[in-house]
Structure 1
Amino acid sequence: MSSILKLDGLSRSFGAVTVADSLSYELAQGEALGVIGPNGAGKTSMFNLITGTLSPDAGRVEFAGRDVTSQSAASRSRMGIARSFQVPQPFSGLTVFENAMIAATQSAGLTGHEAETLCLTVLDQTELLNKANKLAGGLTLLDRKRLELTRALCAKPKLLLLDEIAGGLTEAECKSLVQTIRDIHASGVSIIWIEHVVHALLAVVERLVVIDFGRKIAEGDPHEVMDSREVKEIYLGIEADA
């Protein structure tokens, strides 16, 4: 299967702080990849490098067979890279539907009936259709997370980047959101998901990458990675033989 994304030796530092240290991996078309690591490991910075809001000091980003390292964030968005944010950032004074329409028109480049149809379809998929006319500022945390997902999907992504979208949810809310993400993945969208709620990741992803201090320390089958000595010691913060 062909790769939709390739990170090749990405490095980025801010003074003495390294957020990406020769980071390399590939994502196959249609694959769901999970990313875990301690706080401050460089996971969100990795997303910023992929989306183009942060430029690397060295290395390359390839998307859909093209070198996009020098492309702007807006250009990458139009090419099909979309993301959610760890802290939901809706336009609070606009309705749920209006938030979706902004993504459909500005990122996906749709207009009129086509944009409206996409938004209604996605809102149904993310279980927000019955709240389409509600102001985004009045949503619960779960629904704000769903709106983040909605806005990303209304950009018609080929690659969806999820940044701790399950954080702060109850077990029941998390289970509901995971099912939505599984349905999105089943539709063929490639996904990279950063998450601290590991059981949520394991319900969706086919492969797991572990990052520490901007460096990839493990990669492979999710359950095997979680059982590895290095991950237990670095990520979980316990002695492997404890």
Structure 2
Amino acid sequence: MTQILKLDGVSRAFGAVKVADELSYGLAEGEALGVLGPNGAGKTSMFNLITGTLQPGSGRIEFAGEDITRHSAARRSRAGIARSFQVPQPFTHMTVFENAMVAATQSAGLSGHAAERLCLEVLERTHLLDKANLPAGGLTLLNRKRLELTRALCAKPRLLLLDEIAGGLTEAECRSLIQTIKEIHASGVSIIWIEHVVHALMAVVERLIVIDFGRKIAEGEPKAIMASPEVQEIYLGIAADA
């Protein structure tokens, strides 16, 4: 199976603090990968390294068979890497539709009717079409998260990075969002999803990796990973011999 993303020995430190420590893994085209780890483990830093807002001190990052290690964030976005943020960051003074248009024009490089058509299609897909003309600053948390998805999808990504998008939602809201992410995944978009809401990950991803202190400490089938004593101790706080 073709790999769309590969990290090979990627490291980055700020003084003595390592946010990425020899990270290595691959992502197959069309695969959904979940990422677990305690707060401060380096998960969001890993996304920053993939998107280019943070440069590695060493190692190599490949996307679609090309070495992108030194490419700018803008170039990576145009190549098909998009992300959501843990804390939604819409343009609050603009409408939902205008937020989507920014992504379609700036990241996907579309204009005119092509950009408008893409935005309308994505807004329908993310269940925000009826809110297209509302100010983004007045949305509920669920709909701000949906707008994060919308803006990422309007960049026409091949790889979608989701950063704790289910955090803070009610159980019903979480189920609704999971269904939307499943539909995105079914369309062929590759996904890496950082999440603390474990049941949300388990409903979507085919594989899990666990990161602690910037280092990958486990990788494999989700149920097997969650049953690992090491993972339970590091992530869940359960002693390995409990």
TM-score bracket relative to the smaller structure: over 0.9
Task: Give the Cα–Cα distance (whole angstroms) in 2 for the partners of residues 241 and 110 of structure 1.
Answer: 56
Aligned to 1:189: 189
Aligned to 2:29: 29
Q: CA deviation at 1:230?
A: 0.5
Aligned to 1:201: 201
User: May I ask how many residue pairs the two structures share in their alignment?
Assistant: 242
Aligned to 1:40: 40
1:76 aligns to what SS in structure 2? helix
Q: CA deviation at 1:143?
A: 0.2
2:130 aligns to what SS in structure 1? helix
Q: CA deviation at 1:241?
A: 3.4
* Regions of 4+ moved over 4 Å: none
Q: CA deviation at 1:22?
A: 0.1
Aligned to 1:62: 62
Aligned to 1:121: 121
Give TM-score, length-normalised by structure 2.
1.00
Which amino acid in 1 is paired with 2:191? I
Q: Which runs of 5+ in 2 are unaligned?
A: none
Aligned to 1:153: 153
The within-5 A match list for 1:161-176 is 161-176=161-176
Aligned to 1:15: 15
2:104 corresponds to 1:104: yes
Which amino acid in 1 is paired with 2:41? A
Q: Which runs of 5+ in 1 are unaligned?
A: none
Give TM-score, length-normalised by structure 1.
1.00
Deviation digits for residues 211-238 of structure 1 (CA, Å, limit 9, x no counterpart): 0000000000000000001101111111
Q: CA deviation at 1:240?
A: 2.8
Task: Give the Cα–Cα distance (whole angstroms) in 2 for the partners of residues 234 and 163 of structure 1.
Answer: 20
Q: CA deviation at 1:175?
A: 0.3
Aligned to 2:78: 78
Aligned to 2:94: 94
Indicate the percent of aligned positions where both proteins have the same amino acid: 80
Which amino acid in 1 is paired with 2:166? A
Task: Give the Cα–Cα distance (whole angstroms) in 1 for the partners of residues 54 and 100 of structure 2.
Answer: 25
Deviation digits for residues 146-182 of structure 1 (CA, Å, limit 9, x no counterpart): 0000000000000000000000000000000000000
Task: Give the Cα–Cα distance (whole angstroms) in 2 for the partners of residues 186 and 241 of structure 1.
Answer: 40
